[in-house]
Each structure stands twice: as C-alpha cells, then as structure tokens.
Amino acid sequence: MTSAKIAIVGAGAVGSTLAYACLVRGVATTVALYDVDAAKVRAEELDLRQGLQFLPTAHVEASDDVSVCAGAQVVAVTAGAKQQPGQSRLDLAVSTTTMLRTLMPALVDAAPDARIVMVTNPVDVVTYAAQKLTGLGTEQLFGSGTVLDSARLRGLVAERCGVAVQNVHAYVVGEHGDSEIPLWSTASIGGVPVTDLVPAGERDAMAAEVVGAAYEIIKGKGATNYAIGISGSRIIEAVLRDEKRVLPVSTLLADYHGVGDVCLSVPTVVGAGGAERRLEVPMDDAELAGLRASADRIRATARDLGF
C-alpha cells in the first residue's frame, strides 16, 4: 500500500466523489484525476489537496493529459454522458461508447498493467465495449456492476427485519439497470432464508425500489454520486489489498448458467488479479429466466452499437 496509485478518469460528480472516498478511506497513497476539461480537473485537484492534512497521508495529482494515469495499479473510468431525468442507462450507450473508441486505447497505452474498473453507465454495455476495444482479459477489465444495487437491497432487508446490514447476505445480478434480478432464493440472514422472513409482496416492492433508486435521486438533484463513489472505492480497495472479496461486478461471461458473450454482474471473487473468478450461484427457474432475459437485452444493445 505504500506505493499504491489509483487513477480516475472523469472529474465529474462521480469521479470527484470517488477520489474523495478513496482518500478518506486511505485506499491509496496517490490519487490521480484525468479529465479533458483542464479547468474542471484543476479545480477538483485543488479542492482535494487542501483537505489532505485531515486525511491519511496521500498525494493528489490531476491533468488533462492521459499520461497522468501512468503507473496506476487501478484505473476507474467514470467519464461519460450525464444521465437525464427519465432517461434509462441504456439510452446513454451511443454517446458513451463513441467516446470509448478514443479513450480506451490511450488509457491502455498509459497504464498497460492496471486493473481497469468501468463505472460509467450503462456499465454492462460500456464494459463489453471496452473489452472489445482493448482486447484485455475479463480479469483485468471489469465493471462496477450491481455492487451498489446489492447494497441497496441489503439495506432494505436489514431495515425490514431489524438486523445489522452486515448480516444480510443477498445479491442483485444481471444488468445494472431495469432488468436486474434479486436472488431471493439464496438470500439469508444468519442462515435463515429471507423468503421465510419477508412476504413475496414486500420482496417485490423492495426489488422495485432498488431499480428505481437512481431515477429518484437523479430527478431530485440531477446525479447520483455519493453511494456509487463509496461503493467504487470499496471495489478498488478489494483489488489493492488482495481481499478476495465476493462482489457482484460486471464481467464477460462464458457459459455461466448457459449465458455467454455478454457482460453482466454475478458474484465474483475480487483481488489483486482483478475479477479473478465467478461463483456459479444456484438460481431458481424464475431467476435463471430473468438472467437470460437481462443478457439478451444487454447483448442486443451492444450489437446495435456495433460490438
């Protein structure tokens, strides 16, 4: 950790919050920000630097030149079009993937050995496009996926059942978006199935609330940034500290319950190697059908974009 460096591409609401979260958590000793808007990235650098005396020892650097990412062990990509109220994550795909065609080759040239975490929405399509553009393996390049969605679901279950959220074990898989699937069949609290504790109607309401959470925030303040920034820092921390933590990140699947050639979120062991291996979680028939439908949706969008 003494020489750990992370680079964050994009100094907007998500990128700057992710940088702040990493500094507060002491994730790395160097945090680099890259953005094509020189004035914006300089302002974020100054604002972050002026608070460093109150944080774990770290250094902040920023530039509108991609070379600032050189030497990073982890690069997080947050740059992309801003999601508007009422706009789905998939609606963002055209403008964002166009940007990736120039960004990704330059990023790999600057930091060829870095683990790259795609955070930009629609993250599953963006991750698939980035892999096709770079040729990097699914261990080295992956997306933030449904880590935040799973946290949202666990929070709702914990509140409903009156337990600490750390004792709720539940995952949201598939698309980070409208077609995501909560895995109720394996969700548990202290070994007790959640299906025994929460009626089906309430579970459906929770799932709908998780899907709609970002839309409500965007409608109210224009963007989501705090929760995704904190959850993104947790993914980066799992890589830098080789934690082998199980997180539902978005990776390129190959015959996962019969699903392949698409990036979707499933429980994955995350460590120094990146997204090191996927865990084939048991699913009931409805969950499997949902996962396959989610895969078809993402794959069709990727094909429409030429990937």
Q: Pick out the residues of the known binding site for substrate.
A: 83, 89, 121-124, 149-152, 224
For the record, the structure tokens of 108 come out as 């790999």
Measured distance CA(215)–CA(223) in Å, rounded: 9
Q: What residues are labeled active site?
A: 176
Nearest of 160, 149, 145 to residue 183 by alpha carbon: 149
3-state DSSP assignment of residue 205: helix
In the chain, the amino acid numbered 75 is V
Beta-carbon contacts of 131 under 8 Å, excluding residues fewer than 6 positions away, are 138, 141, 252, 263
Binding residues for NAD(+): 14, 35, 40, 80-81, 102, 119-121, 144
Q: Which two tokens mark 126?
A: 């963006």
- Using alpha carbons only, give the angle 285, 253, 264 rounded to the nearest 5 degrees: 70
The DSSP line for 95-119 is: HHHHHHHHHHHHHHHH-TT-EEEE-
State the CB neighbour count (10 A cutoff) for residue 266: 24
Residues comprising the binding site for beta-D-fructose 1,6-bisphosphate?
154, 169
Q: What is the rounded CA–CA span in Å between residue 97 and residue 217?
A: 24
Residue pair 210/149 in contact (Cβ under 8 Å)? The answer is yes
Binding site residues, as ranges?
Answer: 14, 35, 40, 80-81, 83, 89, 102, 119-124, 144, 149-152, 154, 169, 224
Residue with token string 């959220």: 165
